[in-house]
Structure formats: structure tokens, C-alpha cells
Amino acid sequence: ATHARTRATGFRLDEGRLVAVETEAGAIPCDRAVVAAGARSGALTASFGDRLPLESERGYHVMIADAEAGPRTPVMASDAKMVVNAMAGGLRAAGQVEFAGLDAAPNWKRAEILRDHLTSMFPDLPETVPAERIRMWLGHRPSMPDGRPCIGRARRTADVVYAFGHGHVGLVGSARTGRLVAQLVGGEAPEIPLAPFDPRRFL
């Protein structure tokens, strides 16, 4: 297998059959493709005329290195709407939902809210954590309006399979989705009914 580190920009079809994926590094000949580009999948599906209501639910995390305190097991702090984990790299709190699209600059105030929840949750943390011990991150949850992912074929060709839109649970859902995609690409019957995940429910 070849791992091409480049951006896919579109597809080349010949009489309804896939012949190549177009990328910034040139065309890659192939007869099957999977669109699994997370919140950025929409531009690729739109090249088939499949305009799907995929939106990024932007989320943030904050990491405190060498934390003086933390939970022994992962904790869902429901009043702060965040998940707290003691990790090898530090104490992490992840949460927040922001609708600002794919390209807006991060609003780090949202990560600061998570940091402040952490310091009130764990009084042994310093009230003001030194900036050099803090790292912040913005990520995109690829979300559909009904909360279900899109797993199914493109309308214009059965050779392209969609697998995105897992929202808040894409890590949890990844292995099962991978198996379903392998079944679709391999021409096998999927092991569960895929109608609830069919992208055509929005088309």
C-alpha cells in the first residue's frame, strides 16, 4: 500500500466508474475510494452533486502539564460539560461546542473556560496555572443534523463510499465504521442495515 500525504480535490469518472482520485500531487489511479475526510468531506461529496448538511461542531481541550491533581479515572463533569482525563502528557479537559465553520480562527476563550473549570474542580491546582504549562487545542466534530453518520455510496457512482459525520463519537464509532466500509468496498452485504446512515436521507 502507498500512503500519499496530499489533499484530495476531486474524482475522475469514466462512464460512471471511478478511474482516479485527483489530488494536489496529481491523479492517483484507482477503482474504489472512501470519503472519510471528517468535517471537510463536504467539498468532496459536492463534486458528485451530493450537497450534504455536514457541519463542524468545533470543540476544544486544555492540557495542564505536571498537574498537581487530577482524577484516578476519566470523569464526565456534566455541570461543566467536559471530560477530564489524567494523561501521560498532563491533565486534560475536553468539551465545548462552537458553530463557527471550518476556517474561523480558534476562540481560545473557550479553552480558558475549560481551564477555569479544572482549577475550580481540583483545588490543589494553582489558581493561576503558568502559561508555559498550558496547551490548548481546537478540533472539529463532523456532525449531521440528525446525529447519525453518513455511511453509504455516492449517488453518481457505487465505486465511492462515504464514511463521515460521526459528530461527538467518531473515535468510539471508528472500528465498526471501518468494518462496514470494508464490506461495502468489498461488495459484501453489510452486517447491519445501513438505511439509517444512508447519505440519501438528506438528498
Ligand X SMILES: Cc1cc2nc3c(=O)[nH]c(=O)nc-3n(C[C@H](O)[C@H](O)[C@H](O)COP(=O)(O)OP(=O)(O)OC[C@H]3O[C@@H](n4cnc5c(N)ncnc54)[C@H](O)[C@@H]3O)c2cc1C
Instruction: Tell me which residues touch ligand X (CB under 6 A).
Output: 7-8, 36-40, 59-61, 83, 94, 139-142, 164, 166-172
Minimum Å distance from CB 4 to ligand X? 9
- Of the candidates 39, 40, 58, the one whose C-alpha atom is nearest the C-alpha of residue 107 is 58
The residue number with the shortest CB distance to ligand X is 170
For ligand X, the closer CB: 70 or 170? 170
Minimum Å distance from CB 166 to ligand X? 4
For ligand X, the closer CB: 15 or 79? 79
Order across the sheet with 82-87: list the strands: 75-77, 82-87, 90-98, 55-64, 134-143
For ligand X, the closer CB: 126 or 147? 147
| Cα dihedral 128, 131, 137, 138 sign | positive
By the 8 A CB rule, do 83 and 95 touch?
A: yes
For ligand X, the closer CB: 71 or 126? 71
Order across the sheet with 150-153: list the strands: 33-35, 160-164, 150-153
Minimum Å distance from CB 139 to ligand X? 3
Number of other CB atoms surrounding residue 109 within 10 Å: 9
d(CA 167, CA 197): 13
Minimum Å distance from CB 173 to ligand X? 6
For ligand X, the closer CB: 129 or 163? 163
